[in-house]
Structure 1
Amino acid sequence: MNGYAAEKDAYLKRLRRIEGQVRGIAKMVDEDKYCIDILTQVSAVTSALENVALGLLDDHLVHCVAEAAAQGGDVASDKISEASAAIARLVKS
């Protein structure tokens, strides 16, 4: 079971809301809305996606990485490396 299973419905709800925001941005571009207004909405979507990513990362650390750490050995090392790589990708984005 994935670490986010308990929050799956909340994540899906947030992602559907973000999807609607992105469609709204596309409509703004199609309707030639003011650039700054579009950029404001892009910033809001970016922030919303970052919050989803941070929530998923937290769930991964609390469940998957902690469980692997309890097992020790290569399993723990692999999960910690995997989490570190995910954090690096988030920081770069």
Structure 2
Amino acid sequence: MYRCEVIANQSVQDELVTLLEEHIQGCLYTIIPMAVGRGKNSYKMGSSTWPETNFVLITYVQDEFLPVVKNIVASLKSKFVNEGVKLFVVKAED
């Protein structure tokens, strides 16, 4: 089992959720709807100076679904090149 965390601009949230639900039956997840901070290329602070914000999606998947999550995130990264879509994966115990 793996813990997968996706951090991305809010503009990709709906598409990410749709793809996860389409490709992983019964996919369970938690969304932290507003995350602010500094990434590699920009700030996303939800302020008048840096108005954009990110979201964080956390899901736990069985080993066989990890490649599916990676492929979904890779497709989002290629479609939304400037949105800073990131995936972090950690081995988890049930």
What TM-score range do you get, normalising by the shorter chain?
Answer: 0.3 to 0.5
- Greater share of strand: 2
Larger Rg: 1
| TM-score between the two structures when normalised by the length of structure 1 | 0.34
| TM-score between the two structures when normalised by the length of structure 2 | 0.34
